Structure 1
């Protein structure tokens, strides 16, 4: 599901209104010298609004905490960084589609926030700090752990785990299976589960293992890391939607 642009822009606008900056008048007979600015809205309302706005910013500008300057945050105003990020996010929401069309690239956009929660929740903390390779590895671990939870196994992990759960053989005691469709004895059933097993092996052997075990690898470009994250999102959806079969 895509972001509700109208709602998001309304929330950003309300936050910017609450945090509008002004310089309070000096008390009578007193002259102060300070760069600090106050906000128009009550603190409680600003904090409540910020709770929602931060989630919007995380979707629209995932690295706003590190990319939007905050060096003036302490001296000017507590919400200075949030305000600039909100202004950038509003512009992005308003004009992103137009910019892509004008620049000749109006292809569909892939959002990490719309991926399966097992993939994105495992990755987002590292992703937001720019550690893309480690973020993908964290997502791989999360998908593996949730699969172990679903089938109730701790003795297998990663490639061996998925070879077992997607095996076309009947489940045995202590060896449950995940079924993506009913076993009707047809070619489609065999193809789907053979493909799921091979796909999972590719994710862990071709993505997770090199990311985890190769020292000195350069950081992944963000778009490549997003593609890798999408692979684990696909696998996560298959696992979560699969029917558990036990002996």
Structure 2
């Protein structure tokens, strides 16, 4: 499901209005000389709005917490980082399609938030802090754990697990299978499950295992890490949508 841009921009605008600074008027019959400014919204109202706004920012600017400065004018307005991030996100929402068209890059974009929940839920905390290689590893572990949950096994993991669950052999006691199509023993059935088994092995042998040695490797560029997450998202959707066949 795509983002409702009009709704998102309205939420951002509401937050900016609540966090706008103003000087409170002098009390009747007197004058108070102060430079102190206040937010137009109350603390609880702003906090409630920030809860929604942060989710929008996470979708539009996944790295806003680390890329947007958070040490400027904090004494004047505690929401300064949020406010700058909101202005940036609003510009993206308003003009992203135009910018990509003008710059000659109007190709479809992959959103991390649109990946399978197992993958993005596993990767999100580390991704936000710029630890992309570790984020991919966390996503791989999450997919493995959810697959174990799906088939009720703890005695096999990663490559061995997927070799078992996508095996063309009939299920056995303690070794259920995941079927991506009807079990008709056709060439297509064999090809689909052989491919799923090989794909899973490639994900864990070629992506997860090297990434587990992140201390010996440079940090992954963000776009490469996103491509790797997408691979695990494909695998996760196969596992989640497959029919469980127990022995």
Q: Is the structural similarity TM-score above 0.5?
A: yes
Deviations 1:165-188 (A, max 9, x none): 000000000000000111112111
Give the Cα separation in 1 of the matches to 2:89 and 2:144: 34
Give the Cα separation in 1 of the matches to 2:177 and 2:73: 53
Deviations 1:193-215 (A, max 9, x none): 00100000000000000000353
Equivalences for 1:62-101 in 2 at 5 Å? Answer: 62-72=62-72, 74-101=74-101
C-alpha contact (below 8 Å) 2:166/2:197 kept by paired residues: yes
Q: What's the CA shift for 1:73? A: 5.2
SS, match of residue 178 in structure 2? strand
Give the Cα separation in 2 of the matches to 1:226 and 1:93: 21
List alignment gaps of at least 5 residues for structure 1: none
The count of corresponding residues between Structure 1 and Structure 2 is 245
C-alpha contact (below 8 Å) 1:73/1:81 kept by paired residues: no
Give the Cα separation in 2 of the matches to 1:243 and 1:37: 61
Pair 1:73–1:184, CA change in 2 (3 A): farther
The residue aligned with 2:60 is 60
The residue aligned with 1:168 is 168
Q: How well do the aligned residues superpose, as a CA RMSD in angstroms? A: 1.4
Give the Cα separation in 2 of the matches to 1:108 and 1:84: 27
Q: What's the CA shift for 1:26? A: 6.7
SS, match of residue 75 in structure 1? coil
C-alpha contact (below 8 Å) 2:162/2:200 kept by paired residues: yes
C-alpha contact (below 8 Å) 2:180/2:193 kept by paired residues: yes
Equivalences for 1:35-50 in 2 at 5 Å? Answer: 37-50=37-50
C-alpha contact (below 8 Å) 2:133/2:214 kept by paired residues: no
SS, match of residue 74 in structure 1? coil
The residue aligned with 2:189 is 189
TM-score (norm 2): 0.95
List alignment gaps of at least 5 residues for structure 2: none
The residue aligned with 2:126 is 126
The residue aligned with 1:222 is 222
Deviates more, 1:154-163 or 1:182-191: 182-191
Deviations 1:67-122 (A, max 9, x none): 11110253121211111111110000000000000000000000000100100000
Is 1:18 the counterpart of 2:34 in the alignment? no
Deviations 1:131-186 (A, max 9, x none): 00000000000000000001011010000000000000000000000001111121
Q: What's the CA shift for 1:42? A: 2.1
Give the Cα separation in 2 of the matches to 1:161 and 1:213: 22
TM-score (norm 1): 0.95
C-alpha contact (below 8 Å) 2:134/2:214 kept by paired residues: no
Give the Cα separation in 2 of the matches to 1:26 and 1:70: 32
